[in-house]
Each structure stands twice: as C-alpha cells, then as structure tokens.
Chain A
C-alpha cells in the first residue's frame, strides 16, 4: 500500500514539474509548481514527518506560491505567453535531460545502499524546536542565524533594485 502511494506521489511530482518548466504561461507554471509542492508534502506525510509536512504545506504551498502569484500579477499581464521555443533548442535540451537522467539513474541503481540504522527518529515539534535553537552537538543555532542574515541581505538588495529613483 505504501509503495503504491509513493509511486502515485512520485508520478504527480514528475508530471507537474515537467509541466511547470515547459508551460508557456507563467501563472500556470506557478500553479503546476503548487501541485509539485503539495505532492512533496504528501511524501513527508508518508514518512510520518508530520511537522515537516505541515510546514511544507503552510510555508511553501501557502506562502511562497501566493507570493509568486502576487509578483506575477504585479509585473506582467496574466494572458502573456512566452515565445514558442525553437525546435533545435527543444531537441538539445531533451537530449541533455535524457543523458543526465540516464547517468543519474544508472549510478543510483548500481549503488548498494546500506540498511538505515535508526529508523525510529523523533521528529516531533518539541525535538525540532529544541535542536533548532541549541548550540551544542547537533544544534542548529548557527545556521538559523546565518539564514536570517541571508534574508536580511536579500531583502535590502531587493529593495535597492525595486525602489524608485528620486534623483
């Protein structure tokens, strides 16, 4: 049963991610991408990482896609369509994609994965919260702070680009 559900999610992810990058209307691409994120949340549920799945749903599917759609609405016309791509480009990118997939899949298939040692992982909110802000072994306080700096710097950069010049 679990395997079947996994494959369903996997197929959804595959189809919609291909659609998202090939769609000529940017708003549709955003919606296809939403389905990809939803299916990924489903995978997390399947692994019983419930908190992670909830975060995936609220932050990515809820927040980020809405931001995408807002910025698309603000910057371009909804009915805008991209130029059709030249046949030569399609052929070359298909070849590159297939070659990449063959290399990756063959490498993955030939690798003998060792059995995971500790399957029972406590992924509750309490544990995650504790490790996120602890600074000892396995503590993630430093990455947490660096991410906040990254967001601040990106924000300032975005404001610099977007604000109107007074001079």
Chain B
C-alpha cells in the first residue's frame, strides 16, 4: 500500500490518532485539565481537513470505500461531535466527580465516532457490523458514566441489552443473506439479491436492526429511559450523532445493496414513518422533564427522515443528508442549552425554565432558535429541510403520508412553542439565576446558531450536497 491509499482513510486514521494521544496524555499527567484544549485543537484540525481534502476510491478489495458523499456524511458527524465535545467541557472540567475519567470519556467518544466512520465507509457486511459495534458497545460505558446515580446505571444496562438484541437480529439477517448469496461484499450482493421469501426476511431483519439504532417506532422502547438516565451530553450524542450515522448507513444500504427491494422498503418505510411521527409526538406532548421531552421529540423527528427515502432518488438522498445536517445543529443547540443549565443548576424540569429569558437572554434565544428550527418555522433552516422532505414524498405521489406528516409537524409546533412560551412569557418568582457558561460551551452554541441560521439561507449548501449524491 502506498501513502495515497492510506490517505483515503484519513478521517479514521486521524480520529484514532487523536484517541491514542488522549490516552497517552491521560496516562502521563495528573492534571487532567490540560487534556481538553489539546484534544479540541486536534479535533478542529481533523474536522477542517475533512472539508478540504476530498477522497474517492476503494481499499482492501472493496471492504473500505470512500466517495465525496461519504466524506460529506463524515464531515457532518465530525462537526456534530466537535459541538458535543465543546458542550461537555463545562460538565467534565468544572465538576470534581467527573475529573477522574476525562481521558476515558474523550477516548470512547472519539473511537465511537471512528467506528461510525468505518461503518459508513464499509463495503461489506463484516466492516459494517464491526463499525456498528464499535459505535455502540463502548458508548454504554458513557451512558452509565454517572454510575453512582441509579438512573444512569440502569440506563447503561438497558442500552447494552437492547443494543445486543438488535445486533443479534441484524446478524441473523446478514447470515441469511450470506447463505443465500455466498458473499457479503456490497458490490456482489448488489447484483445477486432477489426478492424471495428468505431474502426478504433477511432484509427485514437487517432493517429492524438498524431501525433499533435510529429508534423508529416500534423499535423505540429503549430510547426514553436511556436518554433520561444518561448524562445530557451523551443523550445529545445518541439522539443526533448516533442516529445520523445509522440513517447514513441505512441510506447507503437501501440505495445500493437493496435497491431491488425498493417495492418492499417503500411500503415498510411509509408505515414506520407514520407510526414514528405520530407516537413520538403523542408522547412528547406529555413530557415535563426537558431531557425526556427532547428524547421523544427526536423520535418524532426521526419519523420524518423516511420521507426522503421514498422512491430511492438521489435527490431524496441529498434531502435526507440536508435534513440531518440541520437536525444535528438544531438538536445539539437545544441539548447544549439544557446541558449548560443542568451542569450549573441541576434543573431539568420544564417549569424550571419559566421566566428563563429574564435572567439568561443569550441562552434562551439560542434555545428558541433551535426549537423553531426543530419545529420548522420559516426563517430558520429547519423549515427548508422539512419542506424539501415533504416535496420528495409529494413528487412520488404519497399524499396520505404527506398529509400525516404535515399534521404531525403542526402538532410538534405546539409542544415546541410550549417551551418557548415557558421561557419568554410565563412568570416565575424564582427563575434560574444568571448562568455564565465557559468559552467552550459558548463556542459550541455559536456553531449551532450559525448552522441553524445560515444553512437554510444559502441554497448553495443544498446544491453542493446534491452534486455529491449523484455518485451514491
């Protein structure tokens, strides 16, 4: 192998290098605070490199592939994780009980991101499965990070058990596919899969395994408890980065390996989408805990994604990417505010946010923008991404699905505005005191706000993604 070939894997190699550097610094010094700025600088470097240097090609006999579109997916994930690392700085550095494990926290988060990158780049089911496991299993340790809290430990257990169950189902599907086609390479399968009972069953198993990770209804039951028990930053990681990575690989699988099955998955995804949107919304309305509320809202948001898959067009693929890019910004913006407030005061309930605007103007405006973007209110980016998804469904003639989606978008508007109302209008005699967040958190929130405001206004971003997705 030459150096050019190695550079195809630049993103993964850099990420693993950062993870190892973090580990070494962690071993060598007692002052864990040094570790954080070093890692952030390295990580920003990696993210920027990802945008500048494009790669295209295959390695290891087709086991690893890289295209400009896959690069873009990795860039979205990198940016998201950068925001999460910035947001978790306050929680990790300012709290004495979290000092001990800063190194472990960062190592696991970054290696899990590397796992996602391997998963998206995979050219066969072996690498896909390994990437998926690398992205999932170590995260269970972070979900149970606050192990002295009962909820956190419980969430860790639930997370690992449901992850193992879904992997089991997925593996069974893969093994059936191997048994019937004699290969696990995507490019071989692409030609040989055909609709028979057994292969359709294998496909459904694989789809359910991935739907577990995206937490589409009816595979969502683990989500609420895990999201509530995990530390806020891990919840935001699970609900945006993990979800986005799983959607990306689902996109690649559906559009390449299972393109012959499009009749089956079109229909399946319509049902999954309707169920997910409706049930996610119905539960989100009733939540009082803000973390749990955002968890259910993220389930409902995931329900909109299948709209872009319908028809299997490359325009649909770019719409899904665009939606996720904006979703990552808006979701992380909302979670970022919750994270700042929780680590400063420990308050998570929605009533605590009454009168939040009077004391914390900046934070409440960020929260408002994020929620507007999640709800899809016109000037901010969330409107455009949802609108494009609706257009894809309308073009394919799925009017009933579109109708349900629009109703659900309206319902979601109600509960997002409920939070905004609490912050701006509701009176409170003892509002949350003025919080001064650290530089890292400010930077993280600033990136989110920039993303929310500008990705929608500049059509060039969507056009750029659209040119990439031609070569899926």
Point out residues on A near B: beta carbons under 8 Å: 103-104, 106-108, 110-111, 113, 116-117, 135-143, 146-147, 149-150, 152-154, 156-161, 165-167
Contact = CB atoms under 8 A, between A and B. Distances in A.
Nearest to A110: B197
A137 to B, nearest CB: 4
B61 A159 contact: no
Interface stretch (B133-141, B271-279, B393-401, B443-451): B133-141
A146 to B, nearest CB: 5
Contacts, number: 103
A76 B138 CA distance: 24
Interface in B104-157: 104-105, 107-108, 111-112, 114-115, 118, 126-127, 130-131, 133-134, 137-138, 140-142, 144-145, 147-148, 156
B198 A143 contact: no
A141 B201 CA distance: 31
A142 B63 contact: yes
Contact of A138 (B61, B97, B127, B138): B61
B108 A153 contact: yes
Closest 5 CB pairs of A and B: A157-B141, A137-B61, A111-B198, A153-B138, A107-B197
A153 B197 contact: no
B60 interface: yes
B60 A135 contact: yes
Given A143-B127, A149-B134, 6 more contacts: A110-B197, A143-B126, A146-B127, A150-B130, A157-B141, A161-B156
A150 B135 CA distance: 9
A108 B205 CA distance: 14
A150 B137 contact: yes
A156 to B, nearest CB: 5
B201 A103 contact: yes
Given A110-B197, A141-B60, A143-B63, A153 B99 contact: no
Nearest to B64: A142
Contact of B107 (A103, A156, A161, A167): A156
B104 A157 contact: yes
Contact of B131 (A108, A139, A146, A152): A146
B148 A165 contact: yes
A143 B61 CA distance: 12
B134 A146 contact: yes
B208 to A, nearest CB: 12
A111 B111 contact: no
Given A142-B127, A165-B148, A160 B61 contact: no
A156 B60 contact: no
Given A111-B197, A153-B138, A154-B137, A160 B104 contact: yes
Given A103-B201, A139-B61, A157 B126 contact: no
Interface of B: 1, 16, 23, 59-61, 63-64, 96-97, 99-101, 104-105, 107-108, 111-112, 114-115, 118, 126-127, 130-131, 133-134, 137-138, 140-142, 144-145, 147-148, 156, 179-180, 182, 196-201
A32 B317 CA distance: 47
Contact of A157 (B64, B108, B118, B200): B108
Contact of A161 (B64, B97, B144, B180): B144
28 contacts: A106-B197, A107-B200, A107-B201, A113-B179, A113-B180, A135-B1, A135-B59, A136-B60, A137-B61, A141-B60, A142-B59, A142-B127, A143-B126, A143-B127, A146-B118, A149-B16, A149-B111, A150-B133, A150-B134, A150-B138, A152-B111, A154-B137, A154-B141, A156-B107, A157-B138, A165-B100, A165-B148, A166-B100
Nearest to B141: A157
Contacts of B126: 140, 143
Nearest to B1: A135
A67 B368 CA distance: 51
A6 B99 CA distance: 55
